[in-house]
């Protein structure tokens, strides 16, 4: 009998606790409904003028064009297309003997170069190998805006 009484009192206590929790929960939700929502803080709109677009220097523009020409020569499907791309590229240089230096190693600011070549020879090399393995690391323009020296590095 004690077990039955004990079991009855535990069940009754649990039910009372559950009803009490529900009542407290209901009170909180009513309280929230009665309280006015805090007014949102006024938002200040600040219109920032975007920074001016960076202006590309003549060297950057020339380097981008040359990269496209180099890729075009290397990827050309036939010899005539490659030769046409080579002629367009050579028009950007002060002459066909413009030096092209290829950096093969650099340590502590000291650069080691591959054998110097000319732009004409380098373009023929691209046409023959059909691979552009270098990127432009330095470019120098003369007073007429034509490339007077080119430095390349391995990709």
Q: Report the pLDDT value the prediction gives residue 16, as an integer from 0 to 100.
A: 78
Mean pLDDT of 133-142: 94
- CA atoms of 100 and 66, how far apart (whole Å): 13
Q: Report the pLDDT value the prediction gives residue 39, as an integer from 0 to 100.
A: 66
CATH number attached to the domain at 58-154: 3.10.450
Q: Please say if the pLDDT value at position 153 is more than 70.
A: yes
**92 φ, ψ (degrees, to nearest 5):** -85, -10
Tell me the pTM: 0.65
Buried b / exposed e over 64-89, threshold 16 CB at 10 Å, is eebeebbebbbebeeeeebeebbeeb
User: DSSP assignment, residue 117?
Assistant: E
Lowest mean pLDDT among 49-53, 61-65, 110-114: 49-53
Domain ranges of the chain: 58-154
- pLDDT tens for residues 55-101? 778 899 999 999 999 999 999 989 999 999 999 999 999 999 999 99
Q: What's the pLDDT band for 13 if we cut at 50, 70, 90? A: confident
């Amino acid at each position: 009998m004690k077990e039955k009484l004990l079991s009855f009192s535990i069940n009754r206590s649990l039910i009372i606790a559950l009803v009490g929790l529900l009542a407290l929960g209901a009170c909180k939700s009513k309280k929230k409904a009665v309280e006015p929502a805090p007014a949102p803080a006024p938002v200040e709109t600040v219109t920032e003028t975007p920074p001016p677009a960076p202006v590309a220097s003549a060297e950057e523009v020339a380097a981008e064009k040359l990269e496209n020409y180099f890729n075009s020569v290397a990827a050309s499907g036939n010899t005539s297309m490659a030769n046409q791309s080579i002629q367009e590229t050579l028009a950007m240089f002060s002459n066909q003997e413009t030096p092209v230096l290829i950096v093969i190693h650099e340590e502590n600011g000291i650069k080691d170069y591959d054998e110097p070549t000319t732009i004409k020879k380098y373009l023929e090399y691209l046409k023959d190998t059909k691979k552009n393995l270098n990127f432009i690391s330095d470019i120098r323009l003369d007073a007429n805006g034509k490339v007077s020296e080119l430095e390349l590095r391995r990709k």
